[in-house]
Amino acid sequence: MGHIGDRLIEEGRRKRTALVVGLDPDLRYIPDAIRQGADPETGEGAAEAIYAFNRIVIDAVADHVVAVKPQLAYYEIYGASGIGALERTIRYARSKGLLVLNDAKRGDIGPTSAAYARAFLGDGPIAGDMVTVNPFLGSDGYMPFIEAAETAGKVVFVLLKTSNPSSGELQDVKLDGGGALYMKLAEELERLAARSLGTHGYSCVGAVVGGTYPEEARAIRAALKSAIFLVPGYGAQGGSAEALRPFFDVRGEGAVVSSSRAILYAYRSLGDHWSSLSEAEIGRAIGEEAAGAKEAINAVRGL
């Protein structure tokens, strides 16, 4: 089984990109042309519209990204129909040679985490190549994911320092004896990451470190050298390309940067008539935004 830590680095080199595009389909922002014939008020209709939109996005960004990142909530809203759209989206992305990162943020007690790991890193209908995991339940909660990733040659990104404004409330608490909680977690993850290093020095164990927190990223990178970072928060959440420098290693590798709304809905900045744009116009706007994000990030990486 190939090591996806390696494959992620190699795909990034081959395509000259560190960009990941989130697939967070929100029907309110999907143009009429794509909803055509679909009733967005029913699960079936919404699922059709979501899949049609995702196909346009995937076609538009495929040359500019190492992976797509479905955000599970946007599919669960529509129950089985929505998860059916996720299944089809995953298949379509794979048919275009893209890696798939399920942004699921799962985490539970051991046996249930093992079931989630099977769902997302096994060979079932919503399994991808990578998944995000919430460490709040401690190691017996996240180890089933890490063990599944090591076995299957896939990647687990453990939440470490998230991009949202209140992420510090728990993640930054100062511990008795000094240091923030996220640094304690970073040290534990380094120990785990180091045991599954690939050819390029990175592990099956990755970490989510928000692009909105470059100072914290510097400290985390120093403690956690073996983990690829998944960096959300670039774009709509306000993170700038310049702020991304500390996330990368000296070769400009070791991190992938995720952007969702700023790229997905780029066509909305074309004006009030966005809802009546054609599929071709929508795809072009999304593709240009993705290409621009890729180059802005590459400039910071020294490429």
174 has catalytic annotation: no
Burial class (CB in 10 A: 0-12, 13-18, 19+), 17: buried
Q: How far is the CB of 68 from its own copies (least distance, A)?
A: 16
Of the two residues 116 and 202, which places its CB atom closer to its own copies in the complex? 116
> Interface with its own copies by CB under 8 A: which range of 55-63, 102-110, 263-271, 285-293?
102-110
Q: How far apart are CA 89 and CA 171, in angstroms?
A: 33
> Nearer to its own copies by C-beta: 139 or 278?
139
Q: Is 236 helix (H, G, I), strand (E, B) or coil?
A: coil
Q: Which stretch binds its own copies (CB under 8 A): 10-18, 130-138, 272-280, 286-294?
A: 130-138
**d(Cα 102, Cα 1) in Å, to the nearest integer?**
20
Tokens of 288: 């240009």
Closest distance between its own copies and the C-beta of residue 168, in Å? 7
Query: Closer to its own copies at the Cβ: 137 or 194?
Result: 137
Residue 280 C-alpha from the chain's centroid: 26
Tokens 């991304």 locate to 244
Instruction: Look up residue 46 and give its two tokens.
Output: 């919404």
CA–CA separation, 272 vs 268, rounded Å?
A: 7
One of 4, 8, 48, 71 touching its own copies (CB under 8 A): 71
Asked if residue 62 binds its own copies (CB under 8 A), the reply is: no
Q: Are 48 and 30 in contact (CB under 8 A)?
A: no
5 contributes a contact to its own copies by CB under 8 A: no
Beta-bridge partner residues of 239? 234
Site for its own copies in 160-199 (CB under 8 A): 162-171, 173-178, 181, 184-185, 188
Q: Are the CB atoms for 132 and 103 separated by under 8 Å?
A: yes
Q: Sign of torsion, CA 284 288 289 290?
A: positive
Helix (H), strand (E) at residue 12: helix 4-15
Q: Is 219 in the site for its own copies (CB under 8 A)?
A: no
Give whichever of 184 and 225 is closer to its own copies, judged by the CB atom.
184
By the rule CB under 8 A, 63 interacts with its own copies: no
Catalytic option among 105, 154, 225, 294? 105
Residues at the site binding its own copies, with contacts judged by CB under 8 A: 24, 26, 43, 71, 73-74, 76-84, 86-87, 105-113, 115-116, 118-120, 122, 124-126, 134-141, 159, 162-171, 173-178, 181, 184-185, 188, 232, 237
Q: So which residues are the catalytic ones?
A: 105
